[in-house]
Amino acid sequence: MTEWTNSHHLSLTVTREGLTFPVSMGVSSLSLSALQLEIHRFLHPEERTALTGIAQHDYLLGRHAAKLAAFNFTGVAPAGIRIRPGVFGQPVLTCPGHSNVQVSIAHSGGSAMAVVFPESHPMAVDIEVLDADRFLPPLSPAESLLIASLPHTPEEQQFLLWTAREALSKVLRTGFTTDLELFNVKSVAVNGDFVISTFVHFLQYKAVSWIAGNMACSLVLPERSQVDIAALQTLTSRVS
Ligand SMILES: CC(C)(COP(=O)(O)OP(=O)(O)OC[C@H]1O[C@@H](n2cnc3c(N)ncnc32)[C@H](O)[C@@H]1OP(=O)(O)O)[C@@H](O)C(=O)NCCC(=O)NCCS
């Protein structure tokens, strides 16, 4: 599979017990200089940052991906939408004419992904560049057994599970401030290019995870909700 090369947004339909929820995703892999040229188009005045270097690039990538998704979701010009950190660092979206719209953001290795969703249907994303030198906390023996069944390299298996756990920590708004054991994965199942995981302690959620180029990606959503896997497939291949 190829890597993202630029930026993209995607409408996703999520269904649950006869209800349909509009969801929008955004990805961005623009360079820092390209993002800086576009800042006036997508950054709200209250989102200006004093960050520099890689931290600035990550921040702008995250906001760019989030604004692509939020514009697609609301139709409001990206610079009119504000995303500020809440008290736990969680992104809080405000948009004229819209209420109860939420966002989750992840950035890693020069790319970012975001999902915009209605408050009534909590979701979150995480992405991580596949990095053999990065230390990841050890898996439980049960998790190690589970991932060994996946048709991925050991490195991909580790990062797929890690992003599922990290996205769960975001949907809960805790991040990894609690015992990591709380985020343990209970089951994994393969569906085409995707891995569907459930959790030991948070039965109400599941993760849909996949590999895109050198990235592992996860989207966490309510367990009984169905996401349009065919639409999500777009995010496993190149965009331009
Ligand atoms: C939340 C957390 C899992 C994110 O993981 P990460 O590998 O650092 O970074 P990612 O790129 O995956 O995600 C970053 C995004 O997560 C979001 N985020 C941060 N805290 C969050 C929380 N509590 N809940 C949900 N989302 C959160 C933000 O949107 C952030 O991007 P932004 O700062 O550009 O808006 C991690 O930072 C964490 O565990 N935080 C809690 C503990 C901590 O370090 N707190 C520091 C502030 S006191």
Q: Which two tokens stand for residue 167?
A: 């996205």
DSSP state of 50: -
**Ligand 1 in reach of 166 Cβ (< 6 A):** yes
Among 12, 16, 13, which Cα is nearest to 205's? 16
- Nearest residue by C-alpha to atom 3 in ligand 1: 175
In this structure, the strands spanning 124-129 and 111-118 are unpaired
Give the Å distance between the CA of 138 and the centre of ligand 1: 21
Ligand 1 atom closest to the Cα of residue 63 is 34
Distance CA 73, CA 11 (A): 8
Q: Which two tokens stand for residue 215?
A: 């990235």
The per-residue pLDDT for range 74-99, each reduced to its tens digit, is 999 999 999 999 999 999 999 999 99
CB 4 within 8 A of CB 239: yes
Distance CA 126, CA 114 (A): 8
Select from 57, 90, 134, 171 the residue to mutate for testing ligand 1; criterion: most ligand atoms less than 8 Å from CB.
90
Give the Å distance between the CA of 89 and the centre of ligand 1: 6
Distance CA 118, CA 16 (A): 13
The per-residue pLDDT for range 4-58, each reduced to its tens digit, is 557 888 999 999 999 999 999 999 999 999 999 999 999 999 999 999 999 999 9
Which domains are present in the chain?
Answer: 7-236 (3.90.470.20)
Among 90, 123, 126, 103, which Cα is nearest to 205's? 123
Q: What is the pTM of this model?
A: 0.95
Distance CA 41, CA 173 (A): 29
Ligand 1 atom closest to the Cα of residue 59 is 34
The per-residue pLDDT for range 169-222, each reduced to its tens digit, is 999 999 999 999 999 999 999 999 999 999 999 999 999 999 998 999 999 999
Among 49, 103, 234, 86, which Cα is nearest to 174's? 86
With 0-12 CB in 10 A as exposed, 13-18 as middle and 19+ as buried, what is 115? Answer: buried
Percent helix, strand, coil in the chain, to 5, is 35, 35, 30
The per-residue pLDDT for range 104-126, each reduced to its tens digit, is 999 999 999 999 999 999 999 99
**Ligand 1 in reach of 170 Cβ (< 6 A):** yes
Instruction: Read off the pLDDT band of 240 (50, 70, 90).
Output: very low
Write down the H helix ranges in 121-153: 141-148
